[in-house]
Amino acid sequence: MNDQGPSLMNSLTQHTIKVLLVDDQAMIGEAVRRMLAADKDIIFHYCSDPTQAVKMATELAPTVILQDLVMPEVDGLTLVKFYRANPKTRDIPLIVLSTKEEPATKAEAFALGANDYLVKLPDKVELIARIRYHSAGYIAQLQRNEAYRALVESQKKLAAELAEAAAYVRSLLPAPITGEQKAEWRFIPSTELGGDALGYHWFDDDHLVMYVLDVCGHGVGAALLSISAMNVIRSHTLPNTNFLEPGEVLTALNDSFQMEKHNNMYFTIWYGVYDKKRRRLSYASGGHPPAVLITGQDAASARPILLETGGTIIGAIEGTDFKSASCDVQPYAKMYLFSDGAYEIFRPDGSLWSYEEFVQLLESPTPPGVSELDHIVASISAIHETNTFDDDFSLMRVCL
């Protein structure tokens, strides 16, 4: 359970019951004062000049106003209108005190904003009960408003912190690679912080490492786990692991990130190593969608190859041995790595876009003058009919 609820309630302002009586008759003021004198938690204030009533109510901030109806200079119903027109008094409960019992007068008082109506002088027990009842409701409203303001401020602060964290996560993603081999990516988290991570880097002059991983869930926990996994891959800090052997890397990741040690969170991953001298690609997958390699002697003859090894999710079973696979890369080759959020897209009619349709989009030509990845993202957004995604969207293209 979140501890902020009780903590917030304890920090709210504790209001005292304060009564303001507005009546031009001093004897009424004294009578009400005596009625309330024994109740030490009720603070009583008296205003005999109706022209000063709104000013006094604004300064005192009472929890209930007892308002006489018939007074010189300014009558009680006019004051009711003034109270309701003043932002600082418009919500304060108003109990009209009057010697009149006519239904029309009562109806007018309620229509103008009065909360209650008593024929004076009322019974002491009844008066105190009504003061407590209306004050309790008003104090609850004040505390609710205070809690709401605190919540809004807390949410603004949290949003700012999440935005800062999201910017940090994006800063860890690699810059595009240019030259003989090229690599770039698009990353769109479904919330401020997502569980996807991706990367590529040269292990040495001949070997290009590339990977995409997807942590279950979203938010801070998923982001922290994805950053941890990404960092050990980038820094090659898994013990006794050859990072040029994808199966070894996934085996070591699985043993290092067991679910029971990471809040029952797991992740999927595709990890590959391209040997540019031999033009050979080694890879392994753990519960992740197959990467797509489009290769051939030239662009016209190129066909897609789906690359996966069928490994299970990372973190499920300690001691799992993940296997590598490999394939030759022909003269024309580009490959796509992605999370399932890139193709598990719902159309407006509720039908789910298929993986096969996604692969067809990857094969389709890109209009002249348009970035290929931007074209793919725009096409998927058009199918989904929105620029937001239900899951984290990660897509990487590597030209080999």
- pLDDT tens track for 6-27: 555 567 888 999 999 999 999 9
Residues 140 and 177 in one domain: no
Residues 128 and 235 in one domain: no
CA 315, CA 157: separation in Å to the nearest integer? 33
Q: CATH no. for residue 105?
A: 3.40.50.2300
The dihedral over CA atoms of 130, 135, 141, 145, expressed in degrees to the nearest 10, equals: 170
pLDDT of residue 221: 86
264 occurs within a structural domain:
yes
Residues 271 and 223 in one domain: yes
Q: Kind and range of the H or E element at 117?
A: strand 116-119
**Long-range contacts, stretch 78-85, CB < 8 angstroms, 24+ apart:** 79/22, 79/50, 79/53, 79/54, 80/109, 80/112, 80/113, 80/114, 81/112, 81/113, 82/53, 82/54, 83/54, 83/57, 83/113, 84/112, 84/113
Residues 299 and 387 in one domain: yes
Its sign, for the CA torsion 79, 82, 88, 93, is positive
Half-sphere exposure of 170 (CA within 13 A, CB side): 13
Residues 262 and 206 in one domain: yes
Half-sphere exposure of 308 (CA within 13 A, CB side): 16
152 occurs within a structural domain:
no
Residues 73 and 194 in one domain: no
Residues 352 and 209 in one domain: yes
As a residue count, the chain comes to 400
253 occurs within a structural domain:
yes
Residues of the chain with pLDDT under 50: 1-3
Half-sphere exposure of 102 (CA within 13 A, CB side): 6
Cis? peptide before 121, omega within 30° of 0? yes
Residue with tokens 């290929």: 372
Q: CATH no. for residue 222?
A: 3.60.40.10
pLDDT of residue 192: 67
Residues 244 and 177 in one domain: yes
194: left (phi over 0), alpha (psi -120 to 50) or beta: beta
151 occurs within a structural domain:
no
pLDDT of residue 159: 79
Q: What is the strand order of the sheet 94-98 is part of?
A: 42-47, 17-22, 64-68, 94-98, 116-119
Task: Check: CB of residue 319 under 8 Å from CB of residue 285.
Answer: no
Residues 227 and 374 in one domain: yes
The set of residues, in sequence order, having a beta carbon less than 8 Å from that of 173 and lying 6+ positions away, is 185, 187, 197, 198, 199
Residues 23 and 85 in one domain: yes
pLDDT of residue 158: 81
Q: How many domains does the chain contain in total?
A: 2
164 occurs within a structural domain:
no
pLDDT of residue 9: 55
Residues 361 and 241 in one domain: yes
Residues 120 and 230 in one domain: no
How many Å separate Cα 388 from the centre of its chain? 14
Cα angle vertex 174, ends 322, 187, to 5°? 80
313 occurs within a structural domain:
yes
CA 364, CA 137: separation in Å to the nearest integer? 65
Residue 219 lies in domain:
173-399
